[in-house]
Amino acid sequence: MEVADRAIGLLLSVISLSIFTYYTFWVIILPFVDSEHFVHKYFLPQEYAILIPVYAGVVLICFLSVFIGYVMLKSKKKKA
């Protein structure tokens, strides 16, 4: 099981590093590249660079709120 855990950890690290590299290149370097350059076809428009993280943050906060509410209701029922 230890080998599987290490493989999953490595996979998650590689995926996270890939997303970070892609997003960093998209937000920091791409605005300085000529708009006619072929590399622009591999990236979404710039406005999505803000919208995607904002929506992901809202979804995360909603999920955490529902989870905390569920745990609070569950613990309240146990006490009663």
pTM value? 0.70
Look-up of token digits 């230890």: 2
Answer yes or no: are the C-beta atoms of 28 and 49 closer than 8 Å.
no
Predicted pLDDT at 75: 87
Q: Is the pLDDT of residue 47 over 80?
A: yes
Q: What is the mean pLDDT of residues 17-27?
A: 94
Among 24-28, 40-44, 74-78, whose mean pLDDT is lowest? Answer: 74-78
Predicted pLDDT at 2: 85
Q: How far is CA 45 from CA 3, 5, 73, in A?
A: 40, 37, 43
Predicted pLDDT at 80: 62
> To the nearest whole percent, how much of the chain has pLDDT over 70?
99
